[in-house]
Amino acid sequence: MLLSTVRQGLLFWNSNMLEKKNEKDAKPNVLGELIIPVFGVVFTTYYFSTIIDSPWTAQVNAVMVGLVLFLICTIFFIRKSQVIKLNQARIVLEYKRFWPAIFKKQTGFIAITVGYLLIIEYLGYTLATIIFFFLSMSLLDGGRHKIVKLALSLTMAAIGYVVFILMFETRLPLGFIELSLREVLR
């Protein structure tokens, strides 16, 4: 009995040591490290497309910052490519870990944010912001206290309207609410 217990303990210890050795010998997966630089390049490209109508001084500053970001990302991509080519790292999407991560609240929040960016031009800043805040708070809180969330969404969108559109005269997408309030406030 004692001998079998000791044997099981030694087998467990040996298997743990082998797993740790395999973890140390495994090449790191660099796919996760590429997310921020890839999105940085995508955002900068989008940003360049939005500054075409800006004054030339703003364009010069934006291009300088964007080119620095492109340069840094290019250097990063070259270094990671070399590491992968030298077989010191790997780039693999592990589906066993990927699919369960898709069905999380954070992924839903990202989808709501992308949806907000897509509908803001059509619904206008205020209405799209109300919908975005309400859906975000409902998702992250599990859908409880909907009246409170609606009141908070309306309040935050109203404050955003007053501060950004009325006070600072920021060029935000105009929708039904902004056009109606413009007529009422004249």
Task: Encode the chain (186 residues) as per-residue pLDDT tens digits.
Answer: 555 554 555 455 555 544 544 555 688 999 889 999 999 999 999 888 888 887 887 788 888 989 999 999 999 999 999 999 999 999 888 878 778 878 888 899 999 999 999 999 999 999 999 999 999 999 988 888 999 999 999 999 999 999 999 998 888 999 999 999 989 988
pLDDT score, position 98:
74
Map residue 90 onto helix, strand or coil: strand
DSSP 60-114: HHHHHHHHHHHHHHHHHHHHHHHHHHTTSSB----HHHHHHHHTSHHHHHHHHHH
Cα-based angle 20, 22, 23 (whole degrees, multiple of 5):
65
At position 148, the amino acid (one-letter code) is V
Distance CA 136, CA 54 (A): 32
pLDDT score, position 88:
93
Q: How far is CA 17 from the centre of its chain?
A: 38
The two structure tokens encoding residue 18: 């082998």
pTM: predicted TM-score of the whole model, two decimal places: 0.59
Decide if 161 contacts 181 (C-beta within 8 A): yes
Distance CA 109, CA 81 (A): 32
Those residues with Cβ within 8 angstroms of residue 8's Cβ, 6 or more apart along the chain or in another chain: none
